[in-house]
Structure 1
Amino acid sequence: MEAFSSFFDSQAESRNRWSYDSLKNFRQISPVVQSHLQMVYLTLGCALVASAAGAYLHILWNIGGILTTLAGVGTIAWLMATPPYEEKKRISILMAAALLEGASIGPLIGLAIEIDSSVLVSAFVGTAVAFGCFSAAAMLARRREFLYLGGLLSSGISMLLWLHFASSIFGGSTAVFKFELYFGLLLFVGYMVVDTQEIIERAHLGDMDYVKHALTLFTDFISVFVRVLIIMLRNTAEKNEKKKKKKRRD
């Protein structure tokens, strides 16, 4: 009994120590950097609203497609080429890029509304919760603790690109599609942590470009959201198909 009690006592002490150490790690973020992070997440929220507006415009006028995707890429390139001191212009360009991104994923969102609108809400809420949890984990962890994962994630992205390229030439299968979907989800969830810590480190080094940092997190958020939505739609479609088969048998 004493061995068991000592074990549980040690576990409790380790949990308390982790909580205290986490708070100490959060204090390592200077007030200036904390203010910068507030601006980053505020800008990110505005970009998500603009993206939702773009998806709504697609549902109204069916504007999403290849053209909006190419225009979004061009807008992002324009944003990166704009000097940081042109703050208002860069914010406007970011909102335009988010609007075009929302229109580009508009067909997927429209499909989700047709199948089951609750899936769309669940996918967004799940992505937001995951984003908040992993961002908080990156802030509470020791500085630079997860930055080493950047190389591994970049290698994973390269592997996905080559796999997608090979599938487009030689033809893909359902198994390959599922692997790309789930592995890509894992990669971009990892990027949420790595990019958050990288933004903190860049801010400590004097890089206060909150527009560029918000764009980075916006890209991570949309990438995770799209994959979560596709996974949930596939599961819903499979369930509906099974129900139809049962009704036919009955």
Structure 2
Amino acid sequence: MATSFTNFSYERFMRNMGQKLEPSVRYHLSKVYACLTATCAAATVGSLIHLKGIWEAGMLSGLIALGLVLGLIFNPDNGKNFNMRLGLLLGFGAFTGHALGLLLEQVIYVNPAIVVTALVGTTTIFTSLSAAAVLAKRGSYLFLGGILLSVLNAMALISLGNLLFRSYFVHELNLYVGLAVMSGFVLFDTQMIMEKHRLGSNDCIAHSWDLFYDVIGIFRRLLKH
């Protein structure tokens, strides 16, 4: 019964996606999600390197990740540098995961089950919202961009102020609002990627980086809850 329901839901989803999206957009999204999956795998390897004690994470990990992002920014897609930019993206994923190993180590010390819960939660949230964005009316979530950026700026100011006041309530509020904002960015970024492609952008590396940032943001906040 459950298998039949799953097959029915998957078939219906694929049929709806085929009706709503042009073949070129579907193909571009498949490349974006393939790059995203590879980047998440690289992040997993990076985290394991820290957790296994092979190379402990520190400030250097964050600096290298920043350098790799700058490499992506200053080497835009020209149709001939895909492999180089993919390497930069995977490297960024690996060092982001390596830096995240510090938080994972603390969480595992408290309760390893939290990591599993955060992984399942992140996968569920991202998959559900991505599907919603793909199947929704064209451009219906693009209005979220300005709102989400404004909320992020407000959260940054509140966090700076909370360094002085050390309010537990503000800290918790920041986590929940941050989770909602990163979830909103999944909707926004997914539809923005489709619109950018329709306007001629085939940069699946940059587009997958946008979604990877959302995934890491959701995962990090679920770990801290």
TM value normalised by structure 1? 0.80
Pairing 1:228–2:222 present:
yes
**Residue 206 of structure 2: aligned partner:** 212
**Residue 138 of structure 2: aligned partner:** 143
Instruction: Report which stretch shifted further, 198-207 or 24-33.
Output: 24-33
Instruction: Report which stretch shifted further, 208-217 or 76-85.
Output: 76-85
Deviation at residue 132 of structure 1 after TM alignment = 0.3
2:47, 2:99 within 8 Å by CA — same for their partners in 1? yes
Deviation at residue 83 of structure 1 after TM alignment = 2.9
Write the letter of the residue equivalent to 1:42.
Answer: A
**Residue 65 of structure 1: aligned partner:** 58
**Residue 98 of structure 1: aligned partner:** 93
Instruction: Report which stretch shifted further, 138-147 or 25-34.
Output: 25-34
Alpha-carbon distance between aligned partners in 1 of 2:31 and 2:169, rounded to the nearest angstrom? 41
Deviation at residue 111 of structure 1 after TM alignment = 1.9
Deviations 1:17-39, CA, capped at 9 Å, x for gaps: xxx9x966762311011001000
Pairing 1:83–2:76 present:
yes
**In percent, how many aligned pairs have the same letter?**
30
TM value normalised by structure 2? 0.89
Deviation at residue 114 of structure 1 after TM alignment = 2.1
Write the letter of the residue equivalent to 2:138.
Answer: R
Deviation at residue 229 of structure 1 after TM alignment = 1.1
1:26, 1:141 within 8 Å by CA — same for their partners in 2? no
Write the letter of the residue equivalent to 2:147.
Answer: L
Alpha-carbon distance between aligned partners in 2 of 1:25 and 1:93, rounded to the nearest angstrom? 31
Unaligned runs of 5+ in 2: 1-11
Alpha-carbon distance between aligned partners in 2 of 1:65 and 1:167, rounded to the nearest angstrom? 24
1:185, 1:227 within 8 Å by CA — same for their partners in 2? yes
Instruction: Report which stretch shifted further, 129-138 or 68-77.
Output: 68-77
Alpha-carbon distance between aligned partners in 2 of 1:212 and 1:23, rounded to the nearest angstrom? 28
* Structure with larger Rg: 1
Pairing 1:35–2:27 present:
yes
**Residue 47 of structure 2: aligned partner:** 55
**Residue 244 of structure 1: aligned partner:** none
Alpha-carbon distance between aligned partners in 2 of 1:144 and 1:88, rounded to the nearest angstrom? 31
Alpha-carbon distance between aligned partners in 2 of 1:88 and 1:23, rounded to the nearest angstrom? 33
SS of aligned partner of 1:105: helix
1:51, 1:102 within 8 Å by CA — same for their partners in 2? yes
**Residue 128 of structure 1: aligned partner:** 123
SS of aligned partner of 1:61: coil
Deviation at residue 212 of structure 1 after TM alignment = 0.3
